[in-house]
Structure 1
């Protein structure tokens, strides 16, 4: 018949296992979310940069041939992501829709100019590169003006640099916390077996022999926690992909697989290292220090 003490020990052991698995799951889930944010942060930043339009206005003397040649030239330019030709008639209609009245009725003519809205590739939406692009385009004598939001370009690049720095700091901090949390849970789990460890050591068992079952058990718990974290991460990815398809978070399946494998590997590695040092601590304690 199982004694009440044995039942208590079993419940405490199960509770200890559960706390380890929960710690591993929560920490690895947060690290996985952070990992996906990091690998997609550049894509998100690039998408935002490429939405900033550079508008090139042409003189009224520029005929259709000149405009068509400029459009053909843009297709071959390395800096051009996409472009849209906006005739002055189209521009007038857009202005009329915005302000709610036809301004040409009292002006008597259309003062607007034919233009191209050019969306640059993300690598060119930085201060030095975009200035070079502007200088290159202004060499065309038929271009009257080039307009884009210079302050927005500078603001975007400055904020991206700041965000990238903070992401690295937060990543390092979370990794440190992850090791501490998992290590604490494993040490508490092993603490309940300190007398067994010392008894085995007193009857002549080697340190590696004593350590092996604890390490293997912790690795299994780490694998379970990592597996649960991976399942939760896949669920989050599918949810984001379904509800926010424009983000294309699952477009690069190789990077997604790498992050998931890293989550699994970190779970195994941290539990192995933490258990190794935790058991080593109790193996080196004197018998009097166990109490």
Structure 2
């Protein structure tokens, strides 16, 4: 029976493709989590409200002028060119208070002691203690503003927890990438073991290192490309399943950034395939005959 002739650049690749696809999927999954976490953080920060209580007995015109003045401040969030300021009258505030506490203070006070107020949403960049204090001081200097309040402990707690989440996710991603690179190097090196004698034979007949290496590199890059495409497909399917089960996730989607991420995953697959194969082939190119055996 005729012996199958080995062709340079061919080696068992099923395990390499599986390992690289899984690795790229995990990297992509972490990146998608990071993207959604960033959008979620932005959503939380931009929907956090501070309250500016107004002096009593202000007329409607004065309140309207105040709203325009505050709305022009650079720290006020603008959505579709509209400043995010909501007027809450003292009557509305009284209704909210009674609904929450189940106590009607007007029965024993005989009057409504609450103030009209503005509920303000700020740009994300102002969501830290020092800048919030500056916003508070600036607003309280405006004629007609009685007092500005916000939950200081809550802001500190949110910022500290966000920092911890980013640190943990960054550390996990770096460790994962290191493990993946080591795993791929070892996997490809083992796969190329069956080709070591063929590589040596080509060297003996005068083939250059570049000529020997080229088919391996092309195959490695092709495997990286295929693994990247499969990983991207798995991620997209996973995203669609997540959105179908939790429709609220759709508001955190950033199509442009997700498209860039998917392209980066494919590119990373090609790069890992190229570098891992290059390193493994070069190792066999430098071995002596005794070391090959």
TM-score tier (shorter): 0.7 to 0.9
TM-score, normalisation: structure 1: 0.87
Give the deviation of 1:223 after TM superposition.
1.5
Q: Structure 2 CA distance, aligned partners of 1:277 and 1:206? A: 16
Verify the 8 A CA contact 1:241 1:249 in the aligned structure 2.
no
Give the deviation of 1:189 after TM superposition.
0.7
> Does residue 1:29 correspond to 2:25, yes or no?
yes
Tell me the equivalent position of 2:154.
Answer: 152
Tell me the equivalent position of 2:81.
Answer: none
| Alignment partner of 1:78 out of 59, 74, 78 | 74
Give the deviation of 1:126 after TM superposition.
1.5
Q: What pairs up with 1:152-171 in 2 under 5 angstroms?
A: 152-171=154-173
TM-score, normalisation: structure 2: 0.86
Give the deviation of 1:97 after TM superposition.
1.7
Give the deviation of 1:2 after TM superposition.
8.0
Verify the 8 A CA contact 2:66 2:144 in the aligned structure 1.
no
> Does residue 1:274 correspond to 2:276, yes or no?
yes
Offset from partner CA, 1:188-229 (integer Å, 9 cap, x none): 110122222223323333222222222222222212111100
Aligned residues: 282
Q: Structure 2 CA distance, aligned partners of 1:140 and 1:210? A: 76
What is the DSSP-based 3-state SS (H/G/I as helix, E as strand, rest coil) of the residue aligned with 1:79?
A: coil
Change (3 A) 1:77 1:246: farther
Tell me the equivalent position of 1:105.
Answer: 107
Offset from partner CA, 1:254-283 (integer Å, 9 cap, x none): 322221111111111111111111111112
What is the DSSP-based 3-state SS (H/G/I as helix, E as strand, rest coil) of the residue aligned with 1:193?
A: helix
Q: What pairs up with 1:1-291 in 2 under 5 angstroms?
A: 16-81=12-77, 82-242=84-244, 243-245=246-248, 248-251=251-254, 253-291=255-293
What is the DSSP-based 3-state SS (H/G/I as helix, E as strand, rest coil) of the residue aligned with 2:253?
A: coil
Structure 2: gaps spanning 5 or more residues: 78-83
- CA RMSD in angstroms comes to 2.4
Structure 1: gaps spanning 5 or more residues: none
